[in-house]
Structure 1
Amino acid sequence: MTRPLTNWHADQADRLTPGERAADRMRNGMGSWRFIAAFVLFMIVWAVINLTALSWDPYPYILLNLFLSMLAGLQGAILLIAAKRQDAIAAALAQHDYETNLAAKREIEELMAINREQLEILRDLRALGIAPAAPDRP
């Protein structure tokens, strides 16, 4: 019995929907130092511009707070989508590992049965005087 060798991760990646791909890209982007640096830079520029000539959002920065709240809400939803997908991937991978382990167990049991059969044949041959006795082991 032979099992085909497949790359489970490649098969799973091929089955992703466009929405799942987008959620993964956004999660990877928002979880990077580049995003954090750009976000901090944006907030500093916003504050500097509003403290100087163009004061469209004066000091308690109500508009900036609104944007930050909307961003946090979207990030939370995106991260939940990505976490849900990771849970599904982990469950599918665990199932794949379980099936692989079962197949390996069956193959090992089959090999052990063949080994026992060969040992029985050797015993029968020795009893008939056809096969030499096994050397003593230290």
Structure 2
Amino acid sequence: MSKSNHRFAVSALSKKHLPRHLLIPASNIRPGVLALIKADHPDFDDNSLLSFDELNVYRKKYLEKILVHEVGELSQLEQDVIESINSNELLSTNIDFTQEENLTLGNRVADKIASFGGSWTFILLFFSFLLLWMAVNVYLLASKAFDPFPFILLNLILSCLAAIQAPIIMMSQNRKEAKDRQRSEYDYKVNLKAELEIRLLHEKIDHLIVHQNQRLIEIQEIQVDLLEDIMMRMKPKL
């Protein structure tokens, strides 16, 4: 009778009397699985026993928990990236459109004059005007020319035109330089934001890879435990 009692023990979960070779002590259970068992059975201590079938049920729950956690963590990673991008105002805005809205009438006129003064249309019209002026004063109005050679009035007009055109072009160039500086600042901000986000992504991916590797090792260890349990069950039959 004593030998019979020695061969059997009680499972702490099902309260059934089972052969000892079908039971496993709590000290041989992995911490993650043991935590799940204690969560459902607070009275389960390190000296308690449970059957292999009961242990396999909690091993399955633990594996399911790991997989659910991994999927949830991946979704959380995607959510963090989206929030990091949408939390701040978009930096890559259209600078040209923004500056065009703030132009005054003088700035618009200066841009038009600078654009026209640097075109072939202005050069051709300018030379045509000079040739026409000289032809009128030399040939058509030779006896009563209003600006005879050496065309002093024409030189005065050209000097006044150059004196007025130069500061207008400088105004346009200064505004374009300010626009280029602002574009450079925007480019720097966009590049910096992209660099920080890429670095953040690298850190999260590295953390995710390390974390997943640890989980895979735990899964493999549980699989090894299952194989060992199968071998232990097969030994009495052999």
TM-score for the superposition, normalised by structure 1: 0.88
Secondary structure of the 1:6 match is: coil
Give the strand-richer structure, 1 or 2.
2
- State how 1:47-126 maps to structure 2 within 5 Å: 47-54=134-141, 55-126=145-216
Using the alignment, how far apart are the partners of 2:194 and 2:125 within structure 1? 50
Structure 2 unmatched runs, 5+: 1-83, 222-238
Answering whether residue 130 of structure 2 is matched by residue 40 of structure 1, we say no
Percent identity among equivalent residues? 33
Worse-superposed segment, 3-12 or 106-115: 3-12
2:99 to 12, 21, 27: 12
Larger gyration radius, structure 1 or structure 2: 2
Q: CA deviation at 1:130?
A: 4.7
Q: CA deviation at 1:74?
A: 1.2
Structure 1 unmatched runs, 5+: 132-138
Q: Which residue does the alignment assign to 1:27?
A: 114
Using the alignment, how far apart are the partners of 2:96 and 2:207 within structure 1? 39
Secondary structure of the 1:52 match is: helix
Q: CA deviation at 1:68?
A: 0.3
Secondary structure of the 2:148 match is: coil
Using the alignment, how far apart are the partners of 2:149 and 2:119 within structure 1? 29
RMSD: 1.6
Deviations 1:81-138 (A, max 9, x none): 111111101110000001101111121122112101211111211221359xxxxxxx
Using the alignment, how far apart are the partners of 2:220 and 2:153 within structure 1? 95
TM-score for the superposition, normalised by structure 2: 0.52
Using the alignment, how far apart are the partners of 1:26 and 1:45 within structure 2? 23
Q: CA deviation at 1:6?
A: 2.4
Q: CA deviation at 1:10?
A: 1.0
Q: Which residue does the alignment assign to 1:134?
A: none
